[in-house]
Structure 1
Amino acid sequence: MESDQTDAVCFESVIGRYEGFRGHYIDVPEEAARHFSTPRHLRLLCSIEGGEEFHCALRPKGNGAFEISVGTPVRKAGKLRLGQKVAVSLRPDHSAYGRPMPEELAELLAIDEEGDRLFHAARPGTQRGILYYINNGRTVQTRIDRAILMIDRLKNKGFS
């Protein structure tokens, strides 16, 4: 991830919870969302309370407002609670995939031309899902196994 903070937008928000769902979110004020609500800023890097940056998307709420989902790992790492007022920093994500490329997948794509072609032909959301799944493996062997599984799945079935 890039560490350049010159294009960051900072604001305060409150940790909320989706009705009927288990997920949490933060509302993004209109002034802050305006900086990122164009198609070229679909993916963002977010830091809450000065914590580690995480990849996210600015999601429309349907009433002209925007929000960002805050997953359990982010909440636990930052000890964030429902209703807590938080300082938020957002900046554009200029990475190639909107998620870090696992070393194990990069190595596999370097030696598997068909897998590389299929991975790069997949939709961006599919690519991010594959990267997320592989990166969440706790051991190197698990990440290798997951990389092979995902590329084989692309070859045999594809993703819709």
Structure 2
Amino acid sequence: MTFTFTTTLGHNGFSGAILIPEDIAAQIAQDKIKRVVATITSSKNELTLYAAVGKKHGVAQMMFSKANQKKLEVTEGDQLSISMCEDTSKYQAPMTEELEAVLLSDYEAYEIFESLLPGKQRNIIFMVYRANSSQKRVDLALNAMENLKIGNHDPMKFEKLL
């Protein structure tokens, strides 16, 4: 099911927040949807966002980072058009070809990766996804798998090994 709506960019006290209308929030809660893929359109740009849906102070929202605000050239109070649906992918994150190739080529690292909690898997996936070039994504994926194999299972504390 795809949800389409227009909303304003809010603020949750720490970062930007995309406020979700109550009727859509009720449907999301009823369907027990936790993560979504959203296409966000401003008057100037469009962006695809992989995000969690949560409630803060009784208001359903998705976090929207300053970096994403900069990409869309929006600030708090600006109107956004949102089209979102449940993220039904295996990891609920955008798996890159480079990371997938590294996982397929290294079975030991793949087993360790699969044993991680979903949030840690997503951290690694997004770490690789954010790289600008294909070679950088390969390097990050290889480094992440080497860290996993030496017993470092916390993506926030990965050391640069390559």
Secondary structure at the residue paired with 2:74?
A: coil
Aligned to 1:96: 90
* Rounded Cα–Cα distance in structure 2 between residues aligned with 1:78 and 1:29: 21
Aligned partner of 1:4 in structure 2 is: none
Cα distance change of structure 1 residues 38 and 126 upon mapping to structure 2, 3 Å threshold: farther
Unaligned ranges ≥5, structure 2: 156-162
Q: After the TM superposition, which residues 55-66 of structure 1 pair with which residues of structure 2 at under 5 Å, given as runs?
A: 55-61=50-56, 63-66=57-60
Task: Give me the TM-score of the superposition, normalised by structure 2.
Answer: 0.83
SS at match of 1:52: strand
The structure 1 residue matched to 2:69, chosen from 60, 70, 75, is 75
Deviation at 1:65, TM superposition (A): 2.1
Give the aligned partner of residue 19 of structure 2. 27
1:46-77 deviations in Å (ceiling 9; x for gaps): 1222723211110120x332111112343233
Output the amino acid matched with 1:135.
Answer: Y
Q: Calculate percent identity across the aligned residue pairs.
A: 25
Given that 1:37 and 1:58 are in contact with CA atoms closer than 8 Å, whether structure 2 keeps it comes out as: no
Gaps of 5+ in 1: 1-6
Kept in 1: contact 2:10–2:77 (CA 8 A):
yes
Q: Distance in 2 between matches of 1:53 and 1:101?
A: 14
Which deviates the most, 138-147 or 45-54? 45-54
Deviation at 1:113, TM superposition (A): 0.8
- Matching of residues 36-47 of structure 1 within 5 Å: 36-37=28-29, 40-47=32-39
The ranges of structure 1 where at least 4 consecutive aligned residues each deviate by more than 3 angstroms after the TM superposition are: none
Confirm or deny: 8 A CA contact 2:51 2:63 kept in the other structure.
yes
Cα distance in 2, alignment partners of residues 138 and 89 from structure 1? 25
Partner residue, 2:110: 116
Partner of 1:159: 154
Q: 1:54 aligns with which of 26, 32, 49?
A: 49
Q: 2:120 aligned with 1:126, yes or no?
A: yes
The answer (yes or no) to whether the contact 2:41–2:80 under 8 Å persists in 1 is yes
AA aligned opposite 2:25: A
Letter in 1 for 2:37: L
How big is the alpha-carbon RMSD for the aligned residues of Structure 1 and Structure 2? 2.0
**SS of residue in 2 equivalent to 1:89:** strand
* Distance apart, 1:40 and its partner CA: 4.6
Give the direction of change, closer, same or farther, for the CA distance of 1:145–1:76 in structure 2 (3 Å limit): same
Q: Which amino acid aligns with 2:90?
A: A
